[in-house]
Amino acid sequence: MNIYIAKEINNKERRVPFIPEHVKKLADLGAKITIEPGLGATLSYSDELYKEAGAELSDTVGQADMVLRLNEPSVEQINQLKNGAIHVSYLDPFFKPELYKAMAEKGVTGISMEMIPRSTIAQKMDALSSQANLGGYVSVILAAEELDKGLPMMMTPAGTLTPSRVFIIGAGVAGLQAIATAKRMGARVEAFDTRPVVEEQVQSLGAKFVKVDLGEMGQTDQGYAKALTEEQLAKQREAMAKACAQADVVITTAQLFGRKAPLIITEEILDQMKPGSVIIDMAVETGGNVAGSELDQVVNRNGVKIVGYGNLPGRVPAHSSQMYSSNLYNFIAHFWDKENATFKLDLEDEIILSAMITHAGTVAHERFKEEG
């Protein structure tokens, strides 16, 4: 089986989809691996390193049986694939239907890494979680850079410096890592989540869980928070206002799978925050949790910094590439037919059914069939 690994078209993206270590593992499985020249240049992985791991170099993708990428391809790149090829990458299917429609028209089987289920067996393939973990870490580092004071308590000859207060909204993968990082850096940490079930996890990391009675709540079968009603959002914002007013740093991580991020920090809440405080809006790429946040910008609103940087995992590209590469390799290895040295597309497997958007010239995923 010929597997082609394509480099990123966004020149601001420093992550790479596959590292030499995993190229060697794929080669050991019996795959023929071809990489696009310059694949690992942003991380100083030379073409020679990939060749030593067992890869060949080529600019031509049209003969590949499987194509691996990090971010979603363009329609033009999809049209370069052969009929029957398998394409694996982020596809952003909820917001970019033109991509999976192009894949269906081309006869390409499109696997979306966002749609890998959050199940025990698929955990090692879950790219969203691995990248969110690093994003949570980076959010605290960015906050520390933007804040005009230190995070930990310090005992000095000139007096005691009190620890900064960090308030984290959302205790999913990103939020829990942000809590752990802020605690390691010595901050006083509080956290809130609409799912009461995560209170114990928050407390186990040494943070205080802010309780708000929102009535009946829960989470989706993928582990994401369910959307709130307008009444529940109003109660949440009231509690948020008090916590945000006391905080030096606020980190928002609230996202709804496949939907626009909810607005949590309103202008009214911003008006109550103290000058010099910092907000990191981790949901800025899907609409933002904070009023006035702008993608890849730092907005100063009455002395409150609203940081809206996108692609936070890309700020630690070596580790984020290592994790994504591992996710891709584990996905391929899980379905690898060793006897025939090929990827077995098991159309009855839960993981394939969850992540496969297109197949055999059609939009195959039940969730997107109507739009396709």
Whether 326 and 245 map to the same domain: the answer is no
pLDDT at 221 over 70: no
Of 298, 315, 332, the domain-final residue: 315
Whether 86 and 17 map to the same domain: the answer is yes
Q: How far out from the chain centre does Cα 222 lie?
A: 15
pLDDT digits (tens, 9 = 90+) for 231-282: 877 777 787 889 999 999 999 999 888 899 999 999 999 999 999 999 999 9
In a domain, 284, yes or no: yes
Whether 148 and 284 map to the same domain: the answer is yes
Q: Report how far residue 254's alpha carbon sits from residue 263's, in angstroms, rounded to the nearest whole number.
A: 9
pLDDT at 370 over 90: no
Q: Report how far residue 95's alpha carbon sits from residue 292's, in angstroms, rounded to the nearest whole number.
A: 22
In a domain, 122, yes or no: no
pLDDT digits (tens, 9 = 90+) for 158-207: 999 999 999 999 999 999 999 999 999 999 999 999 888 899 999 999 99
Whether 61 and 166 map to the same domain: the answer is no
Specify the pLDDT at position 173.
96
Whether 264 and 345 map to the same domain: the answer is no
Q: Are 103 and 357 in contact (CB under 8 A)?
A: yes
pLDDT at 226 over 70: no
Of 282, 298, 315, the domain-final residue: 315
Whether 338 and 290 map to the same domain: the answer is no
Per-residue pLDDT, averaged over 143-153, amounts to: 97
Domain count, the chain: 2
Whether 155 and 75 map to the same domain: the answer is no
Q: Report how far residue 178's alpha carbon sits from residue 185's, in angstroms, rounded to the nearest whole number.
A: 11
Residue 2: band (very low, low, confident or very high) from pLDDT cuts 50, 70, 90 = very high
Specify the pLDDT at position 178.
98
pLDDT digits (tens, 9 = 90+) for 273-319: 999 999 999 999 999 999 999 999 999 999 999 999 999 999 999 99
In a domain, 363, yes or no: no
Whether 286 and 321 map to the same domain: the answer is no
Whether 96 and 179 map to the same domain: the answer is no
Residue 112 neighbours by CB under 8 Å, 6+ apart: 89, 90, 91, 92, 93, 100, 355, 356, 357
The beta strands (E) that lie in 11-108 are given as 32-35, 55-57, 66-68, 86-89
Catalytic positions:
118, 123, 126, 129, 224
How many Cα atoms are found within 13 Å in the side-chain-facing hemisphere of 70? 25
Tokens 């989540």 correspond to: 193
Q: What is the pTM of this model?
A: 0.92
In a domain, 69, yes or no: yes
- Domain that residue 300 falls in: 132-315
Q: Are 175 and 191 in contact (CB under 8 A)?
A: yes
Whether 249 and 281 map to the same domain: the answer is yes
pLDDT digits (tens, 9 = 90+) for 150-166: 999 999 999 999 999 99
In a domain, 306, yes or no: yes
Q: What is the CATH number of the domain that holds 324?
A: 3.40.50.720
In a domain, 372, yes or no: no
Specify the pLDDT at position 236.
75
pLDDT at 107 over 60: yes
In a domain, 369, yes or no: no
Specify the pLDDT at position 224.
53
Q: 154 pairs with which residues across the strands?
A: 161
Whether 110 and 201 map to the same domain: the answer is no
In a domain, 225, yes or no: yes
Whether 308 and 332 map to the same domain: the answer is no
Of 264, 287, 315, the domain-final residue: 315
Specify the pLDDT at position 96.
95
Please state the three-class secondary structure of 327-367 as a single string.
Answer: HHHHHHHHCEECCCCEECCCCCCHHHHHHEEEECCEECCCC
Residue 371: band (very low, low, confident or very high) from pLDDT cuts 50, 70, 90 = low
Residue 222: band (very low, low, confident or very high) from pLDDT cuts 50, 70, 90 = low
pLDDT digits (tens, 9 = 90+) for 12-29: 999 999 999 999 999 999
Average pLDDT, the chain: 94
Q: Report how far residue 348's alpha carbon sits from residue 320's, in angstroms, rounded to the nearest whole number.
A: 31
Q: Are 356 and 331 in contact (CB under 8 A)?
A: no
Pick from 287, 346, 324: nearest CA to 129: 324
